[in-house]
Structure 1
Amino acid sequence: MRLADKVAIVTGTGQGIGRAVLRRFVKEGARVVAVEWSREAGEASIEGLPEQQVHLICADAHSQSTVDDAVQQALTRFGGLHVLVNNAVRYTERNVVDCTDEDWAATIDSALGSTFRFCRAAIPHMLRHSGGSIVNLASINHLVANPGLAAYTAAKGGVAALSKQIAIEYGTQGIRCNAVSPAFIATERTMQGVTERDMRLNRECYPVGRVGEPDDVANAVLFLASDEASFITGVDLAVDGGLTSLAASAVLSTRIRGWWGRPPIVLPDA
């Protein structure tokens, strides 16, 4: 029960990583205010969880009124606020030239703006209760970029930088802040349109031999949120199966794959 007697806010709990974090936190004893814009997805995510440990807010996480409501519910329903996990994001898939001002503003506000507003609202209450832990979901996309995600990549880089800023500004007052940067995680959203051929190629890129699952990220978030990580702050933890440590040549070169002990890659038919 690594989060016994802890009160947490987790955003974007309707599916994937957010849902896995929510359910893991409850299992570890936390009382959680769950924020999810879709009522259907939000209610599905809390099904079977003890009612006394979860309060669901169905609203957009980027809205200041949602931020204020979530913090207030944590304080009035559960008596405090010790952990904040910023996971919610909505984004557009555009390259730099095709990304409109509206695309840019919406993605930056959803990913970075929401994270900032939740941190700004939570920190004063954490300070009154001898500190807390903030875990912000960034992405390896700010370390190794993919085409067509201009605003998303910039926003997630901002989340990682903001996490460091919070860590150094409030560390002496008992607040830790870290980022988690997942690679490809198999969720309802990311698996849309993905073929078995895509998955075979994906697995070749990961030294651990598989893509990530939501629980892989939830485990990392749990550790950073818990007192077990009391001497860890300001880090950007890549939960990526070794992807960002791997040279592309190790995937494609027959010679290097031989050193690695892997057979030559055989591309399946399209």
Structure 2
Amino acid sequence: MRGLDHKISVVAGAAPGNIGAATALRLASEGATVVAADLDLAAAEAVAEEIRAAGGRAVAGQVDIGDEGSFAKLLNKAARDLGGVDHLFNVAADLSADTIGVDSTNDITTLPLAAWQRTIDVTLTGYMYGIRHALPLMRARGGGSIVNTMSAAVWMAEPIRAAYSAAKAGVAALTRHTARIAGREGVRCNAVAPGTVLTASLLRTLPEAEQARQLAEIASPRLGRPEDVAAAVAFLFSDDGGWVNGQVISVDGGLTMRG
């Protein structure tokens, strides 16, 4: 895609086998210099090493997106060491048993407040931290692009995952707000909304029977792969996506078919 060569792309949530890692690899293959960041520094380093082994440019970083200071430190270090920040992909999430696991087995009447709050702190407030500290760096560069990760769950009215769905719905409003305040300065902000994507973490927990049930509900011959979302993010970061701003792009195999 046009316009990605030598751009500096920060991926916040780049664990191997997941959407962030696939996106880091795709951006590097398009010529970007990638900062692969994750709460697990060893996981981030594994992704950065894979990129370097393939001839790309990448460094690893550690970030807890639920900690504003941690996110600011990551972005400012990228700007200082690499010369700036052009792209930010917010994709990190708390997929632990205590958070998404609890959220996935309760509705709003029984969901423990701790699981609700942790989900909001990471998936919504954490993304806000990244945007808050990326915008000045992108404005200093004369432009940039931010992509946030939503979910098809926002439109599905599930009987579980109230915290996850509410946080992801909030990401849509945050995305449009950011596009509104920064678009005239050349900083675009969009979101991708994946359906069922067979990441490494999901494959560990989603039985084959449930995969088959979900496949039967979509207008596609297969479930998603991390690379499907990575391609959409690369487009939104590229010059080819240069007139796309404030949008939510569904990458869900035809699950939602929103008008």
TM-score of the pair, normalised by structure 1: 0.86
The separation in 2 between residues aligned to 1:64 and 1:83, in whole angstroms, is: 18
Tell me which residue corresponds to 2:80: 76
In the TM superposition, what is the alpha-carbon distance from 1:75 to its structure 2 partner? 1.0
In the TM superposition, what is the alpha-carbon distance from 1:115 to its structure 2 partner? 0.4
Tell me which residue corresponds to 2:184: 172
Q: Work out whether residues 35 and 61 of structure 1, in 8 Å CA contact, stay in contact via their aligned partners in 2.
A: no
Tell me which residue corresponds to 2:29: 27
List runs of 5+ in structure 2 lacking aligned partners. none
Count of residues in correspondence between the two structures: 246
Moved more, 37-46 or 24-33: 37-46
In the TM superposition, what is the alpha-carbon distance from 1:190 to its structure 2 partner? 1.5
Q: Work out whether residues 150 and 194 of structure 2, in 8 Å CA contact, stay in contact via their aligned partners in 1.
A: yes
Q: Work out whether residues 11 and 24 of structure 2, in 8 Å CA contact, stay in contact via their aligned partners in 1.
A: yes
Query: Is 1:96–2:108 an aligned residue pair?
Result: yes
The separation in 1 between residues aligned to 2:80 and 2:182, in whole angstroms, is: 24
List runs of 5+ in structure 1 lacking aligned partners. 247-270
The separation in 2 between residues aligned to 1:240 and 1:114, in whole angstroms, is: 24
Q: Work out whether residues 33 and 70 of structure 1, in 8 Å CA contact, stay in contact via their aligned partners in 2.
A: no
Amino acid of the structure 2 residue aligned with 1:6: K
Tell me which residue corresponds to 2:48: 46
Amino acid of the structure 1 residue aligned with 2:76: Q
In the TM superposition, what is the alpha-carbon distance from 1:147 to its structure 2 partner? 2.5
Distance 1:48 1:245, change over 3 A: closer
User: Equivalent of 2:194, from 172, 177, 182?
Assistant: 182
Q: Work out whether residues 147 and 233 of structure 2, in 8 Å CA contact, stay in contact via their aligned partners in 1.
A: yes
Q: Work out whether residues 45 and 61 of structure 2, in 8 Å CA contact, stay in contact via their aligned partners in 1.
A: no
TM-score of the pair, normalised by structure 2: 0.90
Tell me which residue corresponds to 1:245: 257
The separation in 2 between residues aligned to 1:199 and 1:234, in whole angstroms, is: 32
Tell me which residue corresponds to 1:6: 7
Tell me which residue corresponds to 1:18: 20
Moved more, 78-87 or 201-210: 201-210
In the TM superposition, what is the alpha-carbon distance from 1:127 to its structure 2 partner? 0.9
The separation in 2 between residues aligned to 1:150 and 1:48, in whole angstroms, is: 36
- Of structures 1 and 2, the one with the larger relative CO (CA 8 A, separation 6+) is 2
| Equivalences for residues 145-164 of structure 1 within 5 A | 145-164=157-176
Amino acid of the structure 2 residue aligned with 1:196: E
Cα offsets for 1:105-158 (capped at 9, x unmatched): 110011001100000001011111111100000111111132220110000001
The separation in 1 between residues aligned to 2:28 and 2:110, in whole angstroms, is: 42
Name the SS for the 2:111 alignment partner.
coil
In the TM superposition, what is the alpha-carbon distance from 1:101 to its structure 2 partner? 2.1
Amino acid of the structure 1 residue aligned with 2:71: V
Q: Work out whether residues 45 and 59 of structure 2, in 8 Å CA contact, stay in contact via their aligned partners in 1.
A: no
What is the RMSD of the two structures over their aligned residues, measured on CA atoms? 1.7
The separation in 2 between residues aligned to 1:69 and 1:20, in whole angstroms, is: 24
Cα offsets for 1:5-41 (capped at 9, x unmatched): 2111111101310110111111111112221112332
Amino acid of the structure 2 residue aligned with 1:71: L
Query: Is 1:133–2:145 an aligned residue pair?
Result: yes
Moved more, 76-85 or 86-95: 86-95
Q: Work out whether residues 132 and 174 of structure 1, in 8 Å CA contact, stay in contact via their aligned partners in 2.
A: yes
Larger radius of gyration: 1
Cα offsets for 1:78-118 (capped at 9, x unmatched): 10111110000114323201222211111001100110000
Identity %: 35
Tell me which residue corresponds to 1:57: 61
The separation in 2 between residues aligned to 1:116 and 1:145, in whole angstroms, is: 24
Q: Work out whether residues 33 and 73 of structure 1, in 8 Å CA contact, stay in contact via their aligned partners in 2.
A: no
